[in-house]
Chain A
Amino acid sequence: MRRARSFTRLTGIVAVAVASLALTACGSGSGSESTGDSTSSGPFTIRVAMGSTGETVDAVFTKLKAAYEAKYPGRTVEIVIQENDTYETIGLNNLLTSRNAPDVYFERPGTRLATKVHDGYAADITDAVNGPGFTGRFDPAAYSGMQIDGKTYMVPWSGDVTNVFWFNKAIFTANGLTPPATWDEFLALCGKLKAAGITPLVDGNKDKWPIGSIASHLAERSLGNDAYIAAIKGDQPMNSAGMVAAFDNLKTLADNGYINKSVNALPDDQATTQFLLGKAAMIGIGSWLVSDQISQAPKLQIGYFNLPTLPGSGDQKSVLGVSTGFVVNANSEHVSAGTDFLALMSASEATKLFAEAGLTPMTVDPFAGVTADANTVSLATLLSSAPTKVTPADNIDVKRADEFYGAAAAVIGGLKSPQEALDAAQKRVEALPKS
């Protein structure tokens, strides 16, 4: 602690010295950028980056790598797979600014893609996707959110229904229950289960998006899709009466003990495990539950139902879903090699592999020649035939969605009333700088 004595006196000198160091080092630091689209003919490597969607899907990419390298001698593919949550937060941004930046990377359409385009990390691949490699593989609608100002920046990959209620068929049968059509029926069903000593609903909301997704869906049902999007984008207040009404439904679940008490402490995959072990009758989560069920509890019989209808001005048959895709890095030296890889990924052989791995490919023939899981196929139909497709809030505006999801977590945890939670979120959102 002796050091503290002389500290103040010398801070000034230190600052000056550090500043001069900064000047010299800045000169040497910024000269190494090398960009440009050199069409090198020698052997080269393209890097493909994504977050992990499970070991079976990861394995498909190993197969695609082999197929690509066989088809294009002299080219090597390096698959970079990170833990999903890491990838979507720290990972991708770090990768893009790193020495070995990916040539092709996973991203979500909409605002996230728009940011990448704006920051100069997404190549315009309009010509390529209209070329021979992609002909007839996608419906034009599949490119929704992937085109900006008439230019295409993304190739669709897989679609997911983000929120349905999965149920354990054995538990439902034993209690004489059938999937509910309305929210009131749903609550009544939860009550029966609870009375029978069974946890009606389990969810793992540690990362806030599982309940956040349900809240997004409820908000659309209550407000209508446009008003919901406006509220998330900050064009409308988040604490409107309609939003409070939507959140009241979460409060009902919390107040009646219809959802596990540990909801905010449990990671989502542990909630999945509890559901698959039969510790709860239902779980509110997306279509990817199927691949977990196949690997963890292949014999378990499960079914699903969409969010039941509620009173409200939204579309009561709406489906909450997301699409995903891959982008070619605008800074890549091998843009066309990148689109070649995406073409291979979109071919019918790859579609088959992805479908077998439990995904729902966005190609025109997602399940051709595959004995896909019945639930997966039916969910794909649910999504493609949805009269209104709702996007979870975090795909609309990350920062505002964070507050929205926080409010949902506070309500489902029984910490705040819907009004309090949404007022607090609105206050936080207002403090954000205009984007």
Chain B
Amino acid sequence: MRPLSLRFPRKRPHPPPVSPSSDDHDLMAAVAAERVEALRLLHDRHAPWLRARLLRRCADPDLVDDAIQDTFVAIWRGARRYSPQGDDAAAWIWTIAVRRLASALRRPGGRWIAAAALADTALAETGARLASAEDSVLLGVEHGDLGGALARLSPELRAVIQATVLDGLTVREASRLLGIPEGTVKTRLMRAKARLREELA
């Protein structure tokens, strides 16, 4: 006797062979077809920068490594639900990775690097989402006024902006991480956005 399966058998077109020159979307299609070598290519392509960026969120390299492991396992298990957007999967993978790190940090002993040290990194993207001319504003090196506006925010406001806007966490996740009630996260987020709009107006 076999256990009942609620999944219907899936017939998928056989994905093309993958190579280091395949783009992320082709690799994801191959991962959805349970091709381990495609996952490895994705891992080798994205793990180094993910690690660098996650290490700026959490000083414990073991927790970062665990988060990266969880991320690619989640990619493997969820590849069928992936829908290609944009040029590559980097933003999608980052969202998964930072969520994984956030949930690891929720466990005892986890250490989210305080906003004071890192909130500044949030500024560029925060501004990017608030502004309409996203791409030009993103390059904060050339557009210092946004950076300045964000830098003038209080550390508490920047922490909220960092967790929600830059790292893409939900209000609930941010509230757990920062140890403040969800309502406070929401009000701080609104205040931060309003202040940025004023400064950039």
Instruction: Tell me, yes or no, whether A binds B.
Output: no
